[in-house]
């Protein structure tokens, strides 16, 4: 997993997947402990213990596009204005969260 903070966007690289999130698209950023519903219809491209890449269905949250080294605990969830949610697992969750909040102008 690689998360790159550019001046106007966050670029997620997860294996062969790449996703760009512009800071002005961000509505909210939180750190969550989630519970995946592995029995639900999933659109995940790659999901094994310890990794999640693609869309995973979570109880109470719906689908979250994951680019993470964890599936359930301590996930930084980025809520976008279009209703999409993105989950990532940077090394320093709290610091990364604060940087995103600042760059998105949410503070």
Enter the DSSP assignment of 76. Answer: E
Q: Burial code of 26-36, b = ≥16 C-beta within 10 A, e = fewer?
A: beebeebebeb
Query: Across the chain, where does the E strand assignment appear?
Result: 2-5, 9-14, 17-22, 26-32, 43-48, 51-58, 62-68, 75-80, 85-88
More confident residue, 76 or 1: 76
41-90 residue pLDDT tens: 555 555 566 788 888 889 999 999 999 998 889 999 999 999 999 999 99
Instruction: Kindly report, residue by residue over 10-51, the tens digit of the pLDDT.
Output: 999 987 789 999 999 999 999 999 998 877 655 555 556 678
pLDDT at 76: 98
């Amino acid at each position: 997993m690689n998360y790159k903070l550019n001046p106007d966007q966050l670029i997620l690289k997860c294996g062969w997947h790449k996703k760009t999130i512009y800071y002005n698209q961000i509505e909210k950023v939180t750190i969550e402990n989630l519970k995946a519903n592995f029995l639900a219809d999933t659109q995940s491209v790659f999901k094994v213990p310890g990794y999640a890449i693609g869309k995973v269905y979570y109880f109470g949250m719906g689908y979250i596009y994951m680019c993470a080294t964890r599936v359930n605990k301590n996930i930084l969830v980025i809520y976008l204005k279009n209703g999409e949610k993105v989950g990532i697992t940077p090394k320093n969750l709290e610091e990364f969260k604060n940087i995103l909040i600042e760059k998105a102008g949410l503070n």
